Structure 1
Amino acid sequence: MNPMLKPDTFKLGIFSSNADGGSALTKVPERWKAGWDDILDAAQIADRAGIDFVLPIARWKGFGGETKAREHSFETFTFAAGLAAATSRIALFMTVHVPLVHPLYAAKALATVDHISHGRAGLNIVCGWNPDEFAMFGGKLVERPYDQAAEWADILFKLYNADAPLDFEGQYYTLHHAVTSPSSVQRPRPVTMNAAFGPPGRDFAARHCDFLFTTFTDIEAGKAQIADMQQRATLAGREMGVYTVAHVVCRETEKEARDYYQYYSVEQEDTGAVDYMMRQKQAFSRSHDEIAYRKYRQRFAAGTGTYPLVGTPEQIAGELVRMRQAGFEGSALTFVNYSQELPFFCERVLPLLEQAGIRAGVPA
């Protein structure tokens, strides 16, 4: 079973480890460099500890600044395939920009990873938000991106479940006698997710995805987003889980954690990268509440605008329990340096979550 489908457990994952800096826009020397050996080490640490999933970002152009943030990143289909062969139980997502990847190619690549991983593949379907990235391909942002995404997802589903070559005539795609073999291990398709924030994207997620990832300014405010998605999914005749994303600084004492948080995300902020990313996201992505851009600049430097988990193991476990109580099914996590910080998090925080009853222990 794909770990994302395990019942009655608060899922945890590592996010953005395929890109330099992870989700932090910082100049500290220990910042994540996203070398393959370090990525593999972090994924195997997470795999052994029982972390549930790896979720990469799809980046083609960086955010600039002194560090050329995110310019170095691994393409996510081949990234997932590499990790699939070197792990045993963790779910492995691929993130794909719909306008840049044909659904027939995506179906073949996704099924390949699903077979390598024996059914642990997942697909994060995104439409893109940065026009500078699309310009690299000689294109531009699509006017109605989620109409295209719906057609794209429909083709993927039909390819995996067709009993004859597929003919398809749509607004965005035309396929003649299309086949893909092998089909996916997971039936009727691998698990899917989306990270839309606006109404069209959330309607798409309600109809085509198993999980929605969202951001929030505080946990209580996140409850309204969960209720909104549950209503949309009910109208679509489906059920779906809502996840969030957080950046983590876990230390033995709260002072140590907060001092380091201030150091890497304020004193060592990569100002040029933060300015570019915030400007582009506010103009084109609609991925955060408007208040986030006005009040929480530090969160964008520290973790691309995600929720901060900063403190002792006990404090961080308490916040994750609050997320579960609010109705979230899980959270993707980022660190300044995954391979250096994951062991302490797994050793000290995971047992507290087991004691709280929101996660189970890992079988030997």
Structure 2
Amino acid sequence: MSVSEKTIELGVFIPVGNGGWIPSVNSPDIRSTYGYNREVTLLAEELGLDFALSMAKWRGYGGSTRHWDFTLESMTTMAGLAEATSRIGIWATVHTMVFHPAVVAKMSATLDQISGGRFGLNLVAGSNPYDQGQMGLWRDLSHDGRYALAREWITVARRLWTEERVDHSGDFFTLTDCVSNPKPVKPPQVICAGTSDTGFRFTIANCDGCFISGNNPQSLVRTGLRAKQIAAELGRTTKTYGLFTVVPGETDEAARARVDHFNAGVDVEALRRQAGEYATDVRENTMRRRMAQRAERPTAVGDGAVVGSPESIARQLAGLVKDADLDGVTVIVPDFVDDLRTVGERVAPLLAGHGVRTNAAGAAAGVGGPA
């Protein structure tokens, strides 16, 4: 491989919430059924993608689209998909305020068996006060406090994956002679989406990868490079996985027309309700600011989307992967069958021409992927 080439993982953020990630009356009719997500994940495996990730969401935002009013639970969904698949990584999302680490430790060991070592875990330290508050599970902690809880959470889980008996008395959890068997043969890969310096320091010290996004390409690049800079300061390494909304078309003009069509039907009420709920979290500035900016100029497809023909998308993604020094790309698409097939069969092979290699490109070519 030449120095200008980079091999990355390619995954899909499957649509366990109705409507997917495009809150518009003009978006494809995506229903949050297990059957549809099974179809998407099997397609992703066929295309050679490396992982499928599902979000955890407990309450939607209403509006004309009833955005995310119907969602599958992440851990149980991924258990089913682990059984349905044979190669692709299966990553679930857990809120550290919702599940006790001992419960997830045993669930993860079970999923390790079902998946044959393909299970991964995405930790969320905060989120929406309404989402978890409706169940009485929200903890009004400071930003640092949320990561202190997450740090204790993952410490307990990792001990239960490796130690026969665990005694723990901390600020958030207490375990007395806690036993959790069987142990996972392969403890799950753990990622986290915190993008503050505090979040990055937690993730780099306690997890395997940083899940990053941005309001626009420039902010995503800055965020990706900041993660690698903090890792270097800590004397560690970390993987970074960029999240991208990808809107393909036969031509750049056709793709842009799709975006315009989605934006013309944007569900303003759902976006404003989302922003309003996050605005109640007075201790979390970053997410509140991001949601408020989106509500001020509501669009169904944000400025950070990668839009165009397969060649244009490949060129844009390759540039962002290299500029942000990413180790993986996670895609969201409007239609998780036709558009995902475009990503796997047409975009991935073109990425190789821009110096970015994926297993999906190898699958499209009928070979085993990058060496």
Indicate whether the TM-score tops 0.5. Answer: yes
Corresponding residue for residue 347 of structure 1 = 345
Corresponding residue for residue 300 of structure 2 = 301
One-letter amino acid of the counterpart of residue 242, structure 1: T
Pair 1:289–1:310, CA change in 2 (3 A): farther
Pair 1:306–1:242, CA change in 2 (3 A): farther
List alignment gaps of at least 5 residues for structure 2: none
CA distance in 2, matches of 1:35, 1:72: 9
CA distance in 2, matches of 1:306, 1:46: 26
1:183 aligns with 2:183: yes
SS in 1 for 2:113: helix
Shift of 1:354: 2.8
One-letter amino acid of the counterpart of residue 201, structure 1: G
CA distance in 2, matches of 1:165, 1:216: 42
List alignment gaps of at least 5 residues for structure 1: 1-6
Corresponding residue for residue 26 of structure 2 = 28
Shift of 1:283: 5.6
Corresponding residue for residue 79 of structure 1 = 77
Pair 1:11–1:344, CA change in 2 (3 A): same
Q: Tell me, yes or no, if the aligned pair for 2:245 and 2:305 is still in contact at 8 Å.
A: yes
SS in 1 for 2:139: coil
One-letter amino acid of the counterpart of residue 145, structure 1: R
**Percent identity, aligned pairs only?**
29
CA distance in 1, matches of 2:176, 2:294: 51
Q: Tell me, yes or no, if the aligned pair for 2:318 and 2:355 is still in contact at 8 Å.
A: no
CA distance in 2, matches of 1:170, 1:154: 11
Corresponding residue for residue 67 of structure 2 = 69
Corresponding residue for residue 56 of structure 1 = 54
Pair 1:185–1:39, CA change in 2 (3 A): same
Moved more, 23-32 or 122-131: 23-32
SS in 1 for 2:55: coil
| Residues 1-364 of structure 1 mapped to structure 2, 5 A cutoff | 9-28=7-26, 30-143=28-141, 144-162=145-163, 164-186=164-186, 189-264=187-262, 266-281=263-278, 284=281, 286=285, 290=289, 293-294=292-293, 301-302=300-301, 305=302, 307-326=304-323, 327-360=325-358, 361-362=362-363, 363=367
SS in 1 for 2:12: strand
CA distance in 1, matches of 2:318, 2:170: 45
SS in 2 for 1:263: helix
Pair 1:322–1:215, CA change in 2 (3 A): same
Shift of 1:24: 1.2
Pair 1:225–1:70, CA change in 2 (3 A): same
Q: Give 4+ residue runs of structure 1 displaced > 4 Å after superposition.
A: 285-293, 295-300
SS in 1 for 2:85: coil
Q: Tell me, yes or no, if the aligned pair for 1:95 and 1:125 is still in contact at 8 Å.
A: yes
CA distance in 2, matches of 1:214, 1:282: 21
Can you list the C-alpha shifts for 1:55-112, whole angstroms capped at 9, x where unaligned?
1111000011122211211111111111111112111111001011000110011121
Pair 1:98–1:306, CA change in 2 (3 A): farther
Shift of 1:31: 2.8
Pair 1:127–1:51, CA change in 2 (3 A): same
Pair 1:344–1:8, CA change in 2 (3 A): closer
TM-score when normalising by structure 2: 0.88
RMSD: 2.3
One-letter amino acid of the counterpart of residue 247, structure 1: T
One-letter amino acid of the counterpart of residue 170, structure 2: G
Shift of 1:287: 5.1
Pair 1:298–1:18, CA change in 2 (3 A): farther
SS in 2 for 1:349: helix
Pair 1:28–1:75, CA change in 2 (3 A): same
Can you list the C-alpha shifts for 1:100-141, whole angstroms capped at 9, x where unaligned?
100011001112112111111111010232111222112333
Pair 1:79–1:289, CA change in 2 (3 A): same
Corresponding residue for residue 3 of structure 1 = none
Moved more, 50-59 or 222-231: 222-231
Q: Tell me, yes or no, if the aligned pair for 1:278 and 1:293 is still in contact at 8 Å.
A: yes
One-letter amino acid of the counterpart of residue 156, structure 2: I
